[in-house]
Every structure is written in structure tokens, then in C-alpha cells.
């Protein structure tokens, strides 16, 4: 079937003179990618699925046994794992909500004629372009109780941002909001500038107040693209590792990825950690699907 | 309903003057049409009245009150645009309800329902009420957009070429409908168009705009019969008025196109270079006439024929009754009604008889 849709090779081209057919050229381009995907993605994925049904430990040479669904049963009955999930959920909600509010708000502010608009937008995008590890190290300094600039600026004295177990998760979320709000802002800005100006004029003529205009015109028109931003950010926040790992090591900030890392590379429970990774994968797919369903509904309206 | 007055309004966009010292008065309940070409400042005038644009200079009065500092919402006007501007993702009903649901007015739900239904009946869109706006045709969309304007009972209706994007047949139908609507509502309409047929057929009064200046204001028949200058003469009437350069000698018009015919007006303009203006219906084919020309083109419209004559290097258009049968390239004689010739100054284009 694919050959039918392909354009045929120009008979005068160099490739044709070397006796290469359309099919040969297609394979030349596609096979390396497919090989790469199989070796580095599909194979480990399936291999780890196999491991998740065993008690294999990568740290020993001891023979491994097939344990069936035992790993999954243990994990799903483990209250500590559920606690990790609860922490992750809290983190996702706080961080994504914060990003949407800040990002969309800034986009609303930028969506008008202001001097140096392009420069301001570019500068606002900078946090997004930094490396996670760098951001983590920066914010660790900013949050420092004795010489951090945040405590100095807010006059909080020696407030413990990262070692206070009640605050640490919010501190990590705050860093994430700082870093990723620009992403939401960028997408919102694209959505906002696509709203035709004459609709706002019509609404002004129809004597709609600013709030009414926002909820009846702006928001419904920006909703689909905002949904996409939320999907991306939720997926990312769900699998957050580096930021939380670098910033703090409180038990209250042990999101599921950190638990997984510890299980796999500190406790060397390879089989068990593979099972956990699969549970996470299923969860991310499920959440994304809910969003996509909702997105399609929003688009249809 | 309301009386609108613009005094000395000037508006520039980036150094380019869109309106120059515009004075305009629209009486209560009048259907006023602003006619002009693209870029003449029609839409700017409309937007200034609506409050979407602030004039650089001059005052706007609605019912005698200076509304210069008021926003669009406070002026209580309705605006219908060429691009419909319906609210997407809503049904026709929701679109019609929109202006009534705003917090400023607080209309009771029962009344909203009643008014929406009455408007839908007037515009014959009842069967579309539950449909999403992106599933409508152009004509239906424009009806909904007009409906959204009338559901509110505003003081003034502003329409910016609302019919331009529609096909000819629909345009004609909506034209009649709009006019009927204006009469039933007794509302003040300011209607902007570049289409002289629309202007002539709908307007109680027409204002002709030329590059930001109002050249003439009058009833359609005034504008048609006594244009103040050659610009107005050219922009109103189809086929347009014939304009021929020439001079008056011994009570006759001597044209540069090479023919000479008598005129009855003003011997005061003897010898002066003028432009003669004559409507096609005031010319006729006449074998006895001294003026001769070759038939260049014939458009048969059934009830009448529009005949284009070539004389010298000029073309003259006249309407002939269906009973006459001139042939292309035939040499014919023609004459005109000497009473109906309008003299314009050659350089300024001003109507000399009006002065």
C-alpha cells in the first residue's frame, strides 16, 4: 500500500543511475530509525515487562524466579507506595494549577499593544530554556535559610523552605511553576492572539462586562490550546524527578519517580521496580486519555 | 431612538487623514446611507459613532448629548459587521441571548426567551435557533448577526457593509428585509456601503464620502438628479452619467468628442471650459439629429437596451426602448433632452448650476 502513495524516482537522478529503486531508498531512510527504536525503546520496554513478573535483582548473580503478579500485588497493597502517589498527585495539582494561573495571566497581560513586547516575551521564556539540574541548584541557593535571597527579600528570617517537611513540596512546586509557566504562557498567547478582534468589539457593543467577555468569549476560544498545555504539563509533573531530587530529600517530597529510582538503583529490587514503572505508565496513559477525551469534547463544541 | 450629529470630526491614522472636518446629521428614525469607495472613511465614521474609535478632533452628539467620553457599551448602539462576528461555539439562540444576558441590563429569563423568539420570527430563523453558528450559511449568519443587534432595542443601528459578503440574490432579499425592518422598528440606521444600488434603494438620505470628506448629502433622487460634482455624478447611477468635456457656444454644447447639441441652461457660461453631464435616459437615438456616432456595444436588458456609442475618442451611453433595434457598427444619429444637461466646472468638477 505504501508504495502506491510514494512518488516515483526521477529516472535521471543520481540514485536511479546507481540502480536504486524507490523501495531501496525508503528502506535506507526508515530502517536505521526503526532499528534504533527497537533496540533502545521497544526491547527494553518488553524486557522490563518480563522482569516485572520476576524477583530479579541486578546486583546479584543469584538465580531469579518467576513470581507471576506477586510484585504488582505487593506494590498495590503497600501503603507507602500509595503515600508516594498521594504526594505526586498533590504536587501535580499544585504545580499545574499554578502554572496555568500564572502562565495564562501573563499571556493576558502580554496580549495587547505594549512597547518591547517581543523582547519581554523572549525574556519571560528564559526559565524554560534552562536545564532542570541548573534550576534546582539555583533555587537551592535562593531558598537557603541563612543566605538565600528569598528569605532576605520577604523578611522571613531563617525560614526553612526545603527542610521543613510541610513546606518542602510546595517549594519544589513553586520552582516548577517558575520554570514552566512560560510554556503555558507561550501556548496561551498563541491561543489568545487567534481570537478575532471583532468579537471583542461586538461584545463591547453588546455591553458585555470584562468578566462576562472573558468567560463567554476568551476562555471558550482558548480552551483547546490551553488543554494541550495542561496535558503536557501534567505528564511532565507526574514523572518529575530531577527537581525534587536535587532540591530536597524530605520524605514528604518523595514523589513516585524518586521512590522508583530508590527501589531500582539503591535497593536493587529490579523486578519490583519494573512492576512499579508499569503501574506508573498505565496511570499516565489513563490520565492523558481523560484529558484527550475532554479536549475532543471542548473542540467539538 | 435617536438623533445623531457629528461636528467637525477629524481622524488620522499614522499621519494619513481618514476623515477631514466631517459634519453629519442623522435625524431620528432615518435610514442614512454613507456611500463611498474603499478607504473613503465610511467604516471609520461608523466606528467613531459606535465608540470603537476616538476622533482626533470634533464632537459626537447622540440625542444632543456629547458622547465623546463614552465607551461603546454606554452609547447603546448596535453594530452589524461584514464579517458577521457571531460568537463561535454557541448556538444561534445563545448568540441572540448574549446581549440580553449581560450584567448591565438584567433582563428576566422569560422576557429573554420571548424577545429571542420574536426576533427569530421576524428574521425567519426560528428553525435555526438550536443550531451551532458554524453550521450556518452566509445569509443565515448575517441574519443572526442582525438579530443580535435588534434583540436589544438599541438607540442606533450601525451597519458596516452587512450585505457585501452575500451573493446577489440573497443581497437583494435582505435589502428589502432590512428596509422593512427599519420601518417597523422606526429606528435610526446608519448604513455604510460602497454599492450605489444599495444606497439608492434603501436610503432615506445618502451621504457621499470622498477621501474623508462628505461631498454631498441628500435624498437619493436629489443625489441622482443634482450631483454637486463630477465625483458624485460618477458614483451614483448605473449605467453612470455621461461626462463630456467641451464648451458652451451660442447656446449650444460643443463637445470635444466632436458633436454639438443644443442646451437650455445658462448662457452665463459662454466660452468657458466645462464638463457636460447627461444621464443615459436623457439621450435617445434620433435619425434626424445632427450628432452622429457609431454603435460600439449593445447590452440587452429586456425592458430596455443600453447602447454605447463611439463618437470621436469618447463613449456615450444611452438607454433605448426595446422596440428599437440598432446594430453594432451601424452609424446612427442621437440627441438629448436640453433641459437635463448638467454643467460642471472642468477644473474643480463643481456643479455650475447648483452654485
Tens digit of each residue's pLDDT (9 = 90 or more) over A210-234: 888 898 889 988 998 999 999 999 9
CB A151 within 8 A of CB A159: yes
In angstroms, the separation between the Cα of residue A16 and the nearest Cα of chain B is 50
pLDDT of residue A141: 93
Q: Do A201 and B88 touch (CB under 8 A)?
A: no
Look at residue B94 and tell me whether its pLDDT is greater than 80: yes
Q: What's the whole-model pTM score?
A: 0.74
Return d(Cα B97, Cα A173) in angstroms, integer.
42
Contact predicate B242/B317, CB 8 Å: yes
Which of A205, A210, A211 is the best mutation test for B, with the most CBs of B within 10 A? A205
Residues of B contacting chain A (CB within 8 angstroms): 50, 52, 71-73, 76-79, 81, 83, 85, 87-89, 98-99, 101-105, 148, 152
Is a pLDDT exceeding 70 seen at residue A202? yes
Shortest CA gap B191–chain A (Å): 16
Q: What is the pLDDT of residue A180?
A: 96
Contact check, Cβ <8 Å, B102/A221: no
The pLDDT tens digits of the residues spanning B106-146 come to: 788 888 888 899 888 888 888 989 988 888 888 888 889 88
Q: Which fold has domain A70-300?
A: MetI-like fold (1.10.3720)
Give the C-alpha separation, B203 to B189, whole Å. Answer: 9
Does the pLDDT value for residue A243 go beyond 50?
A: yes
Q: Where are the domains of chain A?
A: 18-51, 70-300
Checking if the pLDDT of A296 tops 50, the result is yes
**Chain B interface, best mutation among A113, A207, A208, A221, by max B CB count within 10 A:** A207
Residue that wins the pLDDT comparison between A300 and A133: A133
Q: What are φ and ψ of residue B320, in 5° steps?
A: -120, 145
In this complex, the residue of B71, B78, B81 whose CB is nearest that of residue A198 is B81
Collect all residues with Cβ–Cβ distance below 8 Å to B209 and sequence separation of at least 6.
B34, B35, B36, B40, B41, B42, B45, B215
Query: What are the C-alpha distances in Å from B18 to residues B41, B45, B66, B241?
Result: 5, 9, 22, 28
Alpha helices (runs of H) in chain A, residue ranges in sequence order: 2-5, 14-17, 22-37, 43-51, 70-77, 79-110, 117-129, 132-143, 149-154, 168-193, 197-205, 210-213, 219-238, 242-247, 256-265, 270-300
Cα A255 to chain center, whole Å?
14
Residue A16 vs residue B324, higher pLDDT: B324
Largest CA distance in chain B: 76
Among A67-71, A222-226, B148-152, the least confident range: B148-152
Where do we find the cell 523486578? A271
Q: With cut-offs at 50, 70 and 90, classify the pLDDT of residue A48.
A: very high
pLDDT at A7 over 70: no
pLDDT band at B87 (very low <50, low <70, confident <90, very high): confident
User: Highest mean pLDDT: which of A32-41, B236-245, B335-344?
Assistant: A32-41
* String of DSSP letters for A6-41: SPPPPTTSHHHHTT--HHHHHHHHHHHHHHHHIIII
Question: pLDDT band for position A256 (50/70/90)?
Answer: very high
Beta bridge partners, A66, equal: A54
Buried b (16+ CB within 10 A) or exposed e, B183-217: eebebbbbbbbbbbebbbebbbbbbbbbebbbbbb
Instruction: With a cut of 70, say whether residue B221 has pLDDT above it.
Output: yes
Can you tell me the distance from the alpha carbon of A199 to that of A188, in angstroms, rounded to the nearest whole number? 18
Q: Is the ipTM of this complex over 0.95?
A: no
Residues in chain B closer than 8 A to A216 (CB atoms): 87, 98
Nearest-angstrom CA–CA distance, A160 and A151: 9
Mean pLDDT confidence for B309-324? 89
Asked whether the predicted pLDDT for residue A14 surpasses 80, the reply is: no
Across A114-125, average pLDDT: 92
Q: Tell me how far apart the alpha carbons of residues B280 and B319 are, in angstroms, rounded to a whole number.
A: 6
Q: How many angstroms separate the CA atoms of A190 and A195, rounded?
A: 9
Task: Decide if pLDDT at A2 tops 50.
Answer: no
Which residues of chain B does A208 touch, with a Cβ-Cβ cutoff of 8 Å?
A: 73, 98-99, 102
Three-class DSSP labels, B54-103: CCCEEEEEECCEECCCCCHHHHCEEEECCCCCCCCCCEHHHHHHHHHHCC
Amino acid at each position: 500500500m505504501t508504495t502506491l502513495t510514494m512518488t516515483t524516482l526521477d529516472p535521471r537522478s543520481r540514485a536511479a543511475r546507481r540502480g536504486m529503486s524507490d523501495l531501496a531508498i525508503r528502506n535506507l531512510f526508515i530502517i536505521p530509525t526503526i532499528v534504533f527504536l527497537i533496540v533502545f525503546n521497544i526491547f527494553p520496554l518488553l524486557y522490563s515487562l518480563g522482569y516485572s513478573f520476576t524477583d530479579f535483582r541486578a546486583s546479584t548473580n543469584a538465580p531469579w524466579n518467576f513470581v507471576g503478579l506477586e510484585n504488582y500485588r505487593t506494590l498495590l497493597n503497600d501503603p507507602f507506595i500509595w503515600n508516594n502517589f498521594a504526594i505526586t498527585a498533590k504536587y501535580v495539582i499544585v504545580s499545574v494549577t499554578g502554572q496555568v494561573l500564572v502562565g495564562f495571566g501573563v499571556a493576558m497581560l502580554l496580549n495587547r499593544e505594549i512597547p518591547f513586547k517581543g523582547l519581554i516575551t523572549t525574556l519571560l521564556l528564559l526559565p524554560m530554556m534552562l536545564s532542570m539540574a541548573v534550576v534546582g541548584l539555583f533555587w537551592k541557593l535562593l531558598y537557603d535559610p541563612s543566605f538565600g535571597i528569598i528569605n532576605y527579600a520577604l523578611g522571613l528570617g531563617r525560614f526553612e523552605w526545603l527542610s521543613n517537611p510541610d513546606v518542602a513540596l510546595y517549594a519544589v512546586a513553586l520552582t516548577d511553576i517558575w520554570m514552566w509557566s512560560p510554556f503555558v504562557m507561550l501556548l496561551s498567547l498563541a491561543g489568545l492572539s487567534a481570537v478575532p478582534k471583532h468579537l471583542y468589539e461586538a461584545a463591547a457593543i453588546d455591553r458585555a462586562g470584562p468578566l462576562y467577555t472573558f468567560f463567554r468569549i476568551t476562555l471558550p476560544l482558548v480552551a483547546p490550546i490551553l488543554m494541550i498545555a495542561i496535558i503536557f504539563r501534567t505528564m511532565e509533573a507526574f514523572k518529575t524527578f530531577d527537581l525534587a531530587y536535587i532540591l530536597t530529600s524530605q520524605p514528604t517530597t518523595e514523589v513516585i519517580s524518586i521512590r522508583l529510582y530508590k527501589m531500582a538503583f539503591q535497593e536493587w529490587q529490579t523486578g519490583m521496580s519494573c512492576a512499579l514503572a508499569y503501574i506508573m505508565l498505565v496511570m499516565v496513559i489513563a490520565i492523558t486519555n481523560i484529558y484527550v477525551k475532554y479536549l475532543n469534547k471542548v473542540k467539538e463544541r | 431612538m435617536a438623533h445623531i450629529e457629528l461636528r467637525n470630526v477629524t481622524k488620522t491614522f499614522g499621519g494619513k487623514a481618514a476623515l477631514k472636518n466631517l459634519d453629519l446629521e442623522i435625524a431620528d428614525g432615518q435610514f442614512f446611507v454613507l456611500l463611498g469607495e474603499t478607504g473613503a472613511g465610511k467604516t471609520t465614521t461608523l466606528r467613531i459613532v459606535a465608540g470603537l474609535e476616538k476622533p482626533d478632533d470634533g464632537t459626537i452628539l447622540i440625542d444632543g448629548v456629547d458622547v465623546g467620553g463614552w465607551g461603546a457599551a454606554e452609547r447603546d448602539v448596535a453594530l452589524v459587521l461584514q464579517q458577521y462576528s457571531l460568537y463561535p461555539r454557541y448556538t444561534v439562540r445563545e448568540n441572540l441571548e448574549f446581549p440580553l444576558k449581560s450584567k448591565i441590563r438584567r433582563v428576566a429569563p422569560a422576557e429573554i426567551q420571548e424577545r429571542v423568539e420574536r426576533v427569530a420570527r421576524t428574521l425567519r430563523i426560528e428553525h435555526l435557533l438550536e443550531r451551532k453558528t458554524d453550521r450556518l450559511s452566509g445569509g443565515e449568519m448575517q441574519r443572526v448577526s442582525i438579530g443580535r443587534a435588534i434583540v436589544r432595542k438599541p438607540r442606533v443601528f450601525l451597519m458596516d457593509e452587512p450585505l457585501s459578503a452575500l451573493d446577489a440574490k440573497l443581497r437583494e432579499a435582505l435589502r428589502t428585509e432590512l428596509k422593512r425592518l427599519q420601518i417597523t422598528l422606526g429606528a435610526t440606521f446608519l448604513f455604510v456601503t460602497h454599492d450605489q444600488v444599495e444606497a439608492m434603494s434603501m436610503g432615506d438620505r445618502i451621504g457621499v464620502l470622498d477621501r474623508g470628506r462628505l461631498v454631498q448629502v441628500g435624498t437619493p433622487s436629489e443625489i441622482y438628479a443634482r450631483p454637486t460634482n463630477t465625483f458624485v455624478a460618477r458614483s451614483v447611477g448605473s449605467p453612470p452619467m455621461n461626462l463630456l468635456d467641451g464648451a458652451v457656444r451660442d447656446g449650444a454644447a460643443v463637445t470635444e468628442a466632436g458633436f454639438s447639441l443644443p442646451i437650455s441652461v445658462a448662457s452665463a457660461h459662454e466660452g468657458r471650459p466645462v464638463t457636460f453631464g447627461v444621464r443615459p435616459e436623457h439621450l435617445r437615438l434620433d435619425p434626424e439629429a445632427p450628432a452622429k456616432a457609431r454603435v460600439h456595444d449593445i447590452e440587452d436588458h429586456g425592458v430596455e437596451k443600453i447602447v454605447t456609442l463611439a463618437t470621436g475618442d469618447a463613449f456615450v451611453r444611452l438607454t433605448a426602448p426595446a422596440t428599437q433595434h440598432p446594430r453594432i457598427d451601424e452609424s446612427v444619429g442621437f440627441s438629448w433632452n436640453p433641459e437635463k444637461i448638467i454643467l460642471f466646472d472642468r477644473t474643480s468638477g463643481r456643479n455650475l448650476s447648483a452654485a
